[in-house]
Structures are given as structure tokens and as C-alpha cells.
Chains A and B, each alone.
Chain A
Amino acid sequence: MASRYDRAITVFSPDGHLFQVEYAQEAVKKGSTAVGIRGTNIVVLGVEKKSVAKLQDERTVRKICALDDHVCMAFAGLTADARVVINRACVECQSHKLTVEDPVTVEYITRFIATLKQKYTQSNGRRPFGISALIVGFDDDGISRLYQTDPSGTYHAWKANAIGRSAKTVREFLEKNYTEDAIASDSEAIKLAIKALLEVVQSGGKNIELAIIRRNQPLKRKKYL
């Protein structure tokens, strides 16, 4: 049944599936794991970096990107699609600042990315973006935010979430271990992110990269071990 309705993005199947969008979610699972945690005074993004080839410049393999000074995102899925989405989002952040003289809220830029992704699920001749994104940051009101988008163009706010390979295992770990105590202090939140990643990261902790944003402070990246 699936094979007759899954070639064109703009065709619904009789039971209401958009198969291309669902297949795009499979592409997300091919990317390495990314985890996001929202603490009270800190937001943490942790990613599993895959090993780079010997001759490859490590700095050009980026899974966490800053969209603005106070917002950053991690993605899982097709690298090229992510690059396009990130570029559009960065331009939108600056355009917003110029037009209304205020930096974007995390929800605004998430909505922008989600709308962009949804447009590509409803146009002929295009395919959906094969990425899911975790967007974190602090708004002007000082509240921390974490949002997740997926290829279908939906977005939701989360307290903690994971995307990419073995995301389900990490999410189950977070459900068990995310407590008010666990995120009480900044270091506890960072520890939780690392522990969650270690559940699924291959070859131990050598391949973990973290990005943290504290309230009113710029993005900090940390490479572990």
C-alpha cells in the first residue's frame, strides 16, 4: 500500500499518511544523537560528534550552531539541509533585529524554522528537510527555553529532549532522571546531559561536545575528554 502513495510529497495515502514526511523522519535517525536540557539558569545542548577523517578539518564539522548571541541550535539528519535552514534562520534573526530593534525570542525563531519546514512539505517538486532541530536560548524575560522541530514542521517546547540515532533510549533516560533536583544547579544540568549521552555514545566520552548558554551570557562550547 505504501509504495503507491509515497513517491510524491503532495499526495495523501488513503489512511491519511504523508509518507515522504514520515520517511524524512527516518533520515533524522541516521544522524548522531543530540540532547537538549532546560535548566533554571542554564540551557545545555550535548551532541555526539562522529569521528572525522584524518585529513578533514575538525572545525568544519559542526553540529551545534549559534543562530544569534542568545539562541543556538543542534540538529540531527542531513548536513546540507541543516546548513540551508541555519542560514535562513540566521538571516531572519538579524532581519528581525533591524526591523523591530529587538532580538528574536526563541519561540519566534523556532516558529520561523518550523514554518519553513512545513512549506517544503506542501510544495510540488520539493522534498521535506531531513532534519530535526533542538533550539535553546534565553528570552528577554530571562526564562530559559528549549524547543524541538521535526521534518513535518511541528514544534513543541520541552523540558528535555533528544533527537537522532537512539533518541528513544536517551529520552527514556531523561524521563527517569530529569527531576527538579537534577537541574537545580548549572553543573547538575550539565552532568545530566553528559550522562544521557553516555547511554548511547559509542567508544565512551571522547566524542561528546557541549554547548551551554547561561542567562545574559554568550554561548560557550566545551569539548570533553
Chain B
Amino acid sequence: MAATFFGEVVKAPCRAGTEDEEEEEEGRRETPEDREVRQQLARKREVRLLRRQTKTSLEVSLLEKYPCSKFIIAIGNNAVAFLSSFVMNSGVWEEVGCAKLWNEWCRTTDTTHLSSTEAFCVFYHLKSNPLVFLCQCSCYVAEDQQYQWLEKVFGSCPRKNMQITILTCRHVTDYKTSESTGSLPSPFLRALKTQNFKDSACCPLLEQPNIVHDLPAAVLSYCQVWKIPAILYLCYTDVMKLDLITVEAFKPILSTRSLKGLVKNIPQSTEILKKLMTTNEIQSNIYT
């Protein structure tokens, strides 16, 4: 028994392994109901990759079925808006499939009927060059689902002759630096690349002790392990919702080799972006 700071008495875990152990074991034994619930939960949280027309599941992983030389992944609403206005409007992109998944962050409890307005991951390829792929991921992929997502998209033995570019955002308060956050020029870009990525980034590399989280980290780790050249462009911003200035902070990437040839009309793209902003504005009177 131990007393905490607030005076409550808490049972301390016993390392000696006394008679108490047997009682605890009985409570911990899994009943058939527990197993059933666990299996149901696993089914609910399964990541499904669906073909576009037929909406049936893909038997193999996406990149095993379709060869790919360039893959651009946008994770988060600002990165998705950037690709939508600058890249997707400069060519004809065809949807090849989508990944549907459910976790506690989804706004709906219905797992089977996620509508297309619900956020999930959509995969496109360029009609004029089907080796170029794009993924728009505006949903949150939970830790236990990231491995499944990678398996379903990249497969268990990916090709090495492709280049991956990941775009995502993070709140500037997550950026660890000796300067005060008030003096940071947010939004700003940082890059992190795998060992096999030989080109240079268009912005400084992410300094220590900062780390990358969630799906972008999972993809980068996967690429590092499989020796695939990949680069992540991380935008630190103080506005996490859809914001024009944050999206425009991604603009330096347009001049890199990753996106070269994919962007044609920049002024028109800026107009499209502005329209996207106004249609997506949610009314809130809390802050003025």
C-alpha cells in the first residue's frame, strides 16, 4: 500500500509475486465474450482498400497492382487543399481507389456507410502518365491502423524505384526550439528525408529534438526500412484548420523535382484555392 500526495491510499504493485497473483489471474482470463468483442472491434477498425468503380476490395496492395514511379501523399486538410488547387487542377487525374477506415476520431459511428463527404483516403493517378500517383488523406489514421494502411497501399515487398513525397502540417507549439514560439515565422516548412533520397530539399531539414508523428512518420519509417527514396515536407503553422496562408506556405515545393511538370497554371490555382477557402469556412463566433 502506498499513500499518494493527496492522501489517498493506493495498492502498489507487488514484485514479489505473492498469493495475490492467483486471484488476479482469474480476473484476467479471457472469456468467449471478451474474445468476441475484441474480434468485433478489430473488424470495425479494419482498413479497407476499395476499387473505384466496383467498390470491391482490392486483393493485392495498391502499388503491387499499379506500377508507380512517383507517389505524392497529402495528409491533413491544408496539405490536401494545396494538392487540390495546385496539382490536381493542372492535369487530368483519375481516381483508382480509396481507403476506408473507422476509428474514434471519425465523426460518425456507422462504419459501413461512410459517405464520400466523410474524410478518408483517395488515390488518384495521372491519366497522361499513369505511373504518377497521388493520395489525398484527410482522415486520422490511428496507430493500430497505420501498419494495415501501409500493407494495403505499399504491400509487403515494395519496389525501390519510386520516389515518395509526403506533405503534412503540425501545430507550431509542437516545434521544439530554444527561441520563443512568438518569434517563429509561422507558417514555415521543414523537411525530413530517408537515406536513399539524394536530391536536396527546398527548405531546412527538421532539427533535433523534433520528431514526426502519426501516418507521415509511419510512411517515412517504412520507406527508410525498405530503402525507398522519400521526403516529408512538414509545415508548422498556428492555424490548424483550413487556412490560405498555411496552404501557401507549401509553395516552395512546386519548384522541386518532386512536383516538377505536375503544376501548370499557378495564378489560376491561387484563385481556386481562395474559392476553396470561402466554401469551407465554418462560422464560429468564439474568436474575433
Contacts and interface: CB of A to CB of B under 8 A. Distances in A.
Interface string A60-103: 01010000000000011111101000000000000000000000
A202 B274 contact: yes
A51 B274 CA distance: 14
Given A202-B274, A203-B278, A50 B288 contact: yes
A38 interface: no
B281 interface: yes
A165 B239 contact: yes
Contacts of A200: 245
A63 B244 CA distance: 22
Contacts of A76: 288
A163 to B, nearest CB: 12
A51 B281 contact: yes
A168 B188 CA distance: 13
A105 B231 CA distance: 57
B238 A27 contact: no
A79 B285 contact: yes
A56 B285 CA distance: 11
Most chain A Cβ neighbours within 10 Å, of B186, B238, B287: B287
B186, B244, B288 — most chain A CB neighbours (10 Å) = B288
Interface in B212-254: 238-239, 244-245
Interface in A39-62: 50-53, 56, 61
Contacts of A31: 287-288
A25 interface: yes
B277 interface: yes
B182 A25 contact: yes
Main secondary structure of the interface of A (DSSP, over half): loop
B238 A77 contact: no
A220 B282 CA distance: 31
Interface string A197-222: 00010110000000000000000000
A29 B241 CA distance: 13
Contacts, number: 51
Nearest to A51: B281
A179 to B, nearest CB: 23
A147 B186 CA distance: 25
Interface residues of B, number: 19
A79 B286 contact: yes
A154 interface: no
Nearest to B183: A168
A202 B276 CA distance: 12
B204 interface: no
Nearest to A80: B286
A107 interface: no
B288 A63 contact: yes
A166 interface: yes
B185 A30 contact: no
Interface string B258-274: 00000000000000001
Contacts of A32: 287-288
A52 B278 CA distance: 12
A26 interface: yes
B283 interface: yes
B166 to A, nearest CB: 26
B173 interface: yes
A61 B281 CA distance: 17
B244 A26 contact: no
Contacts of B244: 202
A93 B288 CA distance: 24
Contacts of B238: 26, 29, 165
Name the residue in B182, B185, B274 with the highest tally of chain A Cβ atoms < 10 Å from its Cβ: B182
Interface of B: 173, 182-186, 238-239, 244-245, 274, 277-278, 281, 283, 285-288
Interface of A: 25-27, 29-32, 50-53, 56, 61, 63, 75-80, 82, 165-166, 168-169, 200, 202-203
22 contacts: A29-B238, A29-B239, A30-B239, A30-B287, A31-B288, A32-B287, A50-B288, A51-B278, A51-B281, A52-B283, A53-B283, A61-B288, A79-B285, A79-B286, A79-B287, A79-B288, A82-B288, A168-B184, A169-B245, A200-B245, A203-B274, A203-B278
